[in-house]
Structure formats: C-alpha cells, structure tokens
Amino acid sequence: MKKQTKQEAHFAVCINNKGYEASLEAGKLYRIIPDVKAESHGYIRVIDESGEDYGYAADRFFRLEVPRPLEKALLKASA
C-alpha cells in the first residue's frame, strides 16, 4: 500500500445522493479526507456541500486517481 504524504489529496465523484440531496450532488467531485476508522466501517469522509467533512457510505462514491498536475489545480481551486 502506498504511504500517503501530507501533500497528496484524494478525490471521488458522488454517484448516489439519495437521501442526502442537500449535502451531496450526484456527479460532483469531492475531496476525500483520510479516515481509517470510517473506512473500516465502509464509510468515506468527504468535504460536502456544507463545507465540512462528514462520513458517508463509500458506495455512494467512485474514487478517482488524478494526475499530480490536476490534483494541484483542484486543490488550488478549492482553497
């Protein structure tokens, strides 16, 4: 398993927002906040529409690996 460095960011696209329409937008890209405990229970922590990080069922998202230049651009855009 690749060790995550401080600079790495991970992203996922919401594929199911049913029941969480105010918090998640289907088809939208979200930044993942690493949370080993949440992941061990089948959840993923993301920064949602409130601007805060919350845990949601991991099957609501499709994880993406993005190239480093895109990662930098996404982080800059969200700052």
Provide mean pLDDT across the span 63-73.
88
In a domain, 5, yes or no: no
In a domain, 1, yes or no: no
| Burial of 20: CB neighbours in 10 Å, binned 0-12, 13-18, 19+ | middle
End-to-end CA distance of the chain: 28
Q: Where on the phi/psi map is residue 41: left (φ > 0), alpha (ψ -120 to 50), or beta? A: alpha
Upper half-sphere CA count for residue 40 (Cβ side, 13 Å): 3
Q: How far apart are CA 61 and CA 52, in angstroms?
A: 17
Q: Which residue has the tokens 């199911």?
A: 16
pLDDT band at 25 (very low <50, low <70, confident <90, very high): very high
For 31-57, the pLDDT digits (tens) are 999 999 999 999 999 999 999 999 999
In a domain, 2, yes or no: no
Q: How many structural domains is the chain composed of?
A: 1
Q: How far apart are CA 5 and CA 19, in angstroms?
A: 34
CATH number at residue 29: 2.30.30
In a domain, 40, yes or no: yes
Higher pLDDT, 14 or 73: 14
Provide mean pLDDT across the span 10-38.
96
pLDDT of residue 21: 96
Higher pLDDT, 16 or 70: 16
Look up the domain containing 54 and give its range.
Answer: 10-78
In a domain, 29, yes or no: yes
pTM over 0.85: no
